[in-house]
């Protein structure tokens, strides 16, 4: 399995169309989901899953090495961000006042 040339104009055009499609889908979906009373974090996670499936599918079908690198970077960055948020949540539940950048939580978890 050889990867295609990252500077191929057809591949770049397809990559651009895929990224613009995910942006348009997200803008439309978020605009419509704000009116849905059942919309919560799960709908956002489902939307993120659909976006990732589209991008991974494009990267696999077109053998796009650049998009694979961007996706791996995003996974690693999200993991680091999730670990930071998890430690913040655990500190907040410990009962001690926690300050993280501009967010301060007291022992009851109320934002100040």
Is residue 37 in a domain? yes
Average pLDDT over residues 45-58: 90
Q: Is the same domain home to 18 and 47?
A: yes
Burial 62-82 (b: 16+ CB within 10 A, else e): bebeebeeebeeeeeeeeeee
Average pLDDT over residues 45-66: 90
Pick from 40-44, 52-56, 64-68, 86-90: least confident: 86-90
CA angle 62, 63, 67 (to 5 degrees): 95
Q: Does residue 94 have a pLDDT over 90? A: no
Pick from 1-15, 28-42, 63-77: least confident: 1-15
Measured distance between the N- and C-terminal CA atoms of the chain, rounded to whole angstroms: 54
For residue 12, how many C-alpha atoms fall within 13 Å in the half-sphere facing its CB? Answer: 5
Q: Is the same domain home to 17 and 44?
A: yes
The model carries a pTM of 0.63
User: Can you give the residue range of the structural domain that contains 106?
Assistant: 76-112
Q: Is the same domain home to 81 and 46?
A: no
- As for how many domains the chain has, the answer is 2
Q: Does residue 68 have a pLDDT over 80? A: yes
């Amino acid at each position: 399995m050889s990867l295609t040339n990252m500077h191929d104009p057809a591949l770049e055009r397809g990559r651009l169309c895929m990224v613009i499609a995910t942006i348009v889908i997200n803008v439309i979906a978020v605009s419509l989901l704000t009116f849905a009373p059942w919309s919560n974090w799960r709908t956002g996670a489902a939307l993120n899953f659909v976006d990732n499936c589209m991008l991974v599918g494009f990267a696999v079908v077109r053998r796009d090495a650049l998009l694979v690198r961007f996706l791996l970077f995003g996974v690693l960055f999200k993991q680091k961000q999730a670990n930071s948020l998890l430690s913040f949540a655990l500190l907040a539940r410990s009962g001690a006042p926690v300050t993280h950048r501009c967010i301060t939580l007291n022992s009851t978890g109320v934002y100040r």
